[in-house]
Amino acid sequence: MTYVFSPTAVPSLAVAGSADLFPVRRILCVGRNYADHAREMGSDPDREPPFFFSKPGDAILPASGTVPYPTQTSRLEYEVELVVAIGVGGSSIPATSALDHVWGYGVGVDLTRRDLQQQAKDTRRPWDVSKGFDASAPVTPLIPAASLAGGPGAGRIWLAVNGGVQQDGDLADMIWPVADIVAAASRSWRLAPGDLIFTGTPSGVGPVSPGDAVTGGVAGIGSFEFTIGAAPAA
C-alpha cells in the first residue's frame, strides 16, 4: 500500500532534559475549570460538570520565540493552563487509577480568537474556528510524571504580559483535579498515548497585541517566554 501523497510530519513536543520527542495525537481542553474564571465568563461553577472542546494536534508549537498573530481576529486572548500528556490509553478510566495513564506534564497557553468565539456563542455555532486555529497551542517541554510523585495537585500558575501579571492562581483551585479530568475525558473518548489535555485556566484572561512579550508558568512544571508576532496583512 502506498499513500497518494507523503503524510505530514507527526506533531511533537520536546521532553525537558532529553533529546526525545513526545508525539502528539490530539488536544482536548477543559472549559471553565477554575471557579473564578467560570464567573469571569458568566457561568455558575457550582452547577457545571467538566466539559471539553478540542484543538487539532498540529495546533501545538513551542512556547518560545515568536508565536504568530492569527488571521480573522482583532481580539486574541491568552489562557495559561497545566497540560497533561497521556501515555497509557483507555476508556471509562476510574479516577482512582487515572494518574497511572499520565506520561507527563507541561504548561500551555490556550490562545483564543475571542471575538469569533463570542460570535459563535451568539449564533449557537461551534467554537472550532475560535479555538482550533493554526499555532493556537504553545506548550513548554514536557516533564515525566515519574518526577512528580502523586501529580501536581497544587502550585502557582501564572501569566504576564509585558511584565505585568494578569493571571495568578493555584492548581489547588481547579474545580476538577487532574485525575477527575482524565477520567471524565475517557468516558467520552478512548484516550490513547499522545493525547494532550489542557486542564483549564484561572481568572484574568485578556487580550494580547503584536509585539507583546508573554511569560508565565506553573510551579514545578515549567515556564515560558514568547513574543506575539506581527498581525497578518489585511
Predicted local confidence at residue 39, as pLDDT: 62
Name which of 187, 171, 57 is nearest 105 in CA terms: 171
Predicted local confidence at residue 34, as pLDDT: 86
Predicted local confidence at residue 31, as pLDDT: 87
Predicted local confidence at residue 43, as pLDDT: 62
What radius of gyration, in Å, describes the C-alpha atoms of the chain? 17
Predicted local confidence at residue 26, as pLDDT: 97
Tell me the torsion sign for CA atoms 78, 62, 136, 193. negative
What is the spatial distance between Cα 80 and Cα 7, in angstroms, rounded to a whole number? 31
Quick one: three-class SS letters along 116-155?
Answer: HHHHHHHCCCCCHHHHCCCCCEEECCEEEHHHCCCCCCCC
> Would you say 174 and 184 are in contact if contact means Cβ atoms under 8 Å apart?
no
Beta bridge partners of 15: 142
Beta bridge partners of 22: 13
Confidence tier at 91 by pLDDT (50, 70, 90): very high
The more confidently predicted of residues 148 and 216 is 216
Cell numbers placing 163: 511584565
- Alpha helix ranges (H) inside 73-166: 114-122, 128-131
Predicted local confidence at residue 12, as pLDDT: 98
Measured between its terminal Cα atoms, the distance across the chain in Å is 43
Predicted local confidence at residue 212, as pLDDT: 98
Instruction: Provide φ and ψ at 101, rounded to 5°.
Output: -95, -5
Q: CA of 55: how far to CAs of 27, 71, 111, 141, in Å?
A: 5, 17, 11, 18
Using left for φ > 0, alpha for ψ between -120 and 50, and beta otherwise, residue 54 falls in beta
Whether residue 41 is predicted with pLDDT greater than 60 in this model: the reply is no
Domains plus CATH for the chain?
12-228 (3.90.850.10)
> Would you say 50 and 28 are in contact if contact means Cβ atoms under 8 Å apart?
no
Helix (H) or strand (E) holding 187: helix 178-188
Mean pLDDT in residue range 132-154: 92
What is the spatial distance between Cα 64 and Cα 222, in angstroms, rounded to a whole number? 12
| pTM of the predicted structure, to 2 decimals | 0.94
